């Protein structure tokens, strides 16, 4: 679906109701990178919900960490 959206003309979509439209590759490793220091710890089993970064020591919830990375890198 993301590819179809990118191929379509959505030039005015971001002005609708003040929303921001962005499309991400489903294989982007957002849950494999620390949102604090950028350290990449690699693949995790899906049962792992929290991770402590070995570089900076910050504890992350897997989903919250991924959402922070998406928000920070989209601008």
Task: For residue range 38-62, list pLDDT tens digits in order.
Answer: 999 888 898 999 999 999 999 999 9
pLDDT at 30: 83
d(CA 21, CA 52): 31
For the chain, the average pLDDT equals 79
The closest of 57, 3, 44 to 66, measured between CA atoms, is 44
d(CA 52, CA 41): 10
CA max distance for the chain? 43
Q: Quote the pTM value.
A: 0.64
The helix (H) or strand (E) run that includes residue 37 is: none
The arithmetic mean of pLDDT across residues 6-32, rounded, is: 67
């Amino acid at each position: 679906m993301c590819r179809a959206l990118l191929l379509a003309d959505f030039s005015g979509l971001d002005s609708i109701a003040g929303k921001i439209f962005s499309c991400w590759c489903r294989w982007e490793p957002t849950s494999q990178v620390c949102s604090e220091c950028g350290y990449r710890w690699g693949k995790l089993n899906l049962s792992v919900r929290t991770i402590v970064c070995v570089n900076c020591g910050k504890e992350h919830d897997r989903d919250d960490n991924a959402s922070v990375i998406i928000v920070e890198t989209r601008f």
